[in-house]
Amino acid sequence: MAFVKKEITHARPAPLSERSVIGWMHKHLFSSFYNSILTIVTLYIIYITTKGLWVWGIADAVWIAESRRECFDISIDGACWAGVIAWMDNIFYGRYPKDELWRVNVGILLLIVWMLPLWLPRVKGKIFIAITLISFYPFLANYIFLGGESSFFSQFMVSAAIVSFVVIMLNAIIGVIQGQSISTFIATRLGSSLKSEKSQRNLNLALLIITFIIAFLWQQSWVLGEVPWTKWGGLFLTLVISGIGIATALPGGIILALGRRSKLPVIKVLSTTFIEVFRSVPLITVLFMATTMFPLFLPEGFVLNKLAQVIIAVCLFNAAYMAETVRGGLQTIPKGQYEGAHTIGLGYWGTMGLIVMPQALKNMIPNIVGNFISILKGTTLVSIIGLFDILGMLSSVSRDLSWIGLHKEPLLFGAMIFFILCALMSKYSRHLEAKLSTNRKT
């Protein structure tokens, strides 16, 4: 019978109008008369903007010069990037002594290395990493950045930070190679000689104490000259302030949001008042009150650390904003989840910590990251009250006599730095969303 085809008919490629470049252009750019006009106008605008930027910023730009006058002599219409290059250290580190810049780099590098295991899937004990990071790293960073005489307490915390860092690094290496946590690794290596859990715990403790003593003795030999905070500045200062702000905003916001939804009237009223007061006042006013008005209420001659005041103000302000984001997230959780938690016998903290928060936080990721980005950008307000953060440094370039009036190039450079930082944050948030998304996708 010849009615049935013997061989399989292969699928034909899509018509040319669907897959060729011309077809795509016809469909997306020139589908109608008006769309064609729009496309041409837009292309023209893109062309002149890019061309202008190219000619000003790259083709006619001056990269090597001693002063703005020299830039003008070389090219009168081009950008003068030489000024930005000359000020690079100031833009990144502020007035931090130039011989000590390695300290800032080491401090930031330590933070990155400390956090790295958090992203490695095979590493165990991530909660430990996060807790030590929040409780010990700030003391270590504080000592590295500030230097000078340190108290016994701070030496103690610095040693604790060193010990945790060593443990985390070993744990991460063992995790990647063996897929075990460090304590299991030690236990299996020693084999049957240590059977009971108790003796294993004692051994771990002994190891920790020995490392601690070594670390304590080692850190006593450190000699770091004092760099007062007044010398901090640039991107470094921006990252310090916004980093602390970001690290405290979420926990603070969660506590405040739970407080606001609490059934206990005192906690509820206090949280609500705090949130509403801070949310109804602009950040610059909070900063101004904290740095300029607050000292009035203190005894005379008692001068606080302005940086600390600013950081506290930024933290309180952002915690209040974050609280409302968290509250919004809590409201997306249906009542059935609470009831379900109660039926399996969970109390308040169990319900919140195991059932509600994990779901709510996942829903809130875009908002939380949005908040983080606005913290980073909002920090530039501190340049108004006399701290030289990155914006303060960028605008100081135009007042250096060698580079006088040079304001577009530094600000453009600053915009690029902010764009990179914010884009990274938002990219990471999308990655996190995709990773955490369950099949409840809509």
Interacting residue ranges for another protein, rule: CB under 8 A: 68-69, 72, 76, 86-87, 89-90, 93-98, 228, 230-231, 233, 288, 292-293, 295-296, 300-301, 303, 306, 384-386, 388, 393, 395-396, 398-402, 404-408
CB contact set of 255 (below 8 Å; sequence gap of 6+): none
Tell me the helix, strand and coil percentages in the chain, rounded to 5. 75, 0, 25
Closer CB to another protein, residue 173 or residue 404?
A: 404
DSSP secondary structure code for residue 267 in this structure: H
In whole angstroms, the minimum distance from the beta carbon of 72 to another protein comes to: 5
SS3 string, 190-227, reads HHHHCCCHHHHHHHHHHHHHHHHHHHHHHHHCCCCCCC
In whole angstroms, the minimum distance from the beta carbon of 294 to another protein comes to: 9
Task: Residue 295: count other Cβ atoms within 10 Å of its Cβ.
Answer: 15
Block residue for tokens 């016809």: 26
What is the rounded CA–CA span in Å between residue 17 and residue 249? 53
In whole angstroms, the minimum distance from the beta carbon of 144 to another protein comes to: 19
What is the rounded CA–CA span in Å between residue 201 and residue 184? 11
Closer CB to another protein, residue 107 or residue 233?
A: 233
Closer CB to another protein, residue 30 or residue 294?
A: 294
Tokens of residue 290, six digits: 């904290």
111: nearest Cα among 168, 179, 154 = 168
User: What pairs with residue 389 in β-bridges?
Assistant: 234
What is the rounded CA–CA span in Å between residue 197 and residue 202? 9
In whole angstroms, the minimum distance from the beta carbon of 239 to another protein comes to: 17
Closer CB to another protein, residue 233 or residue 259?
A: 233
In whole angstroms, the minimum distance from the beta carbon of 36 to another protein comes to: 36
Closer CB to another protein, residue 117 or residue 233?
A: 233
What is the rounded CA–CA span in Å between residue 112 and residue 102? 15
Tokens of residue 200, six digits: 């294993």
In whole angstroms, the minimum distance from the beta carbon of 396 to another protein comes to: 4
- What is the chain's alpha carbon radius of gyration, rounded to the nearest angstrom? 29
In whole angstroms, the minimum distance from the beta carbon of 317 to another protein comes to: 19
In whole angstroms, the minimum distance from the beta carbon of 401 to another protein comes to: 5
Closer CB to another protein, residue 293 or residue 424?
A: 293
What is the rounded CA–CA span in Å between residue 28 and residue 18? 11
In whole angstroms, the minimum distance from the beta carbon of 299 to another protein comes to: 9
Block residue for tokens 């109608």: 32
What is the rounded CA–CA span in Å between residue 147 and residue 28? 60
Closer CB to another protein, residue 82 or residue 182?
A: 82
Closer CB to another protein, residue 33 or residue 297?
A: 297
User: 81, 91 in Cβ contact below 8 A?
Assistant: no
Residue 339 amino acid letter: E
In whole angstroms, the minimum distance from the beta carbon of 381 to another protein comes to: 12
In whole angstroms, the minimum distance from the beta carbon of 142 to another protein comes to: 20
Closer CB to another protein, residue 23 or residue 295?
A: 295
Residue 123 amino acid letter: V
What is the rounded CA–CA span in Å between residue 293 and residue 299? 13
Residue 240 amino acid letter: V
Closer CB to another protein, residue 71 or residue 275?
A: 71
Closer CB to another protein, residue 194 or residue 312?
A: 312
Task: Residue 273: count other Cβ atoms within 10 Å of its Cβ.
Answer: 11
Closer CB to another protein, residue 55 or residue 194?
A: 55
User: 284, 325 in Cβ contact below 8 A?
Assistant: no
What is the rounded CA–CA span in Å between residue 49 and residue 246? 36
In whole angstroms, the minimum distance from the beta carbon of 123 to another protein comes to: 40
User: What pairs with residue 62 in β-bridges?
Assistant: 80
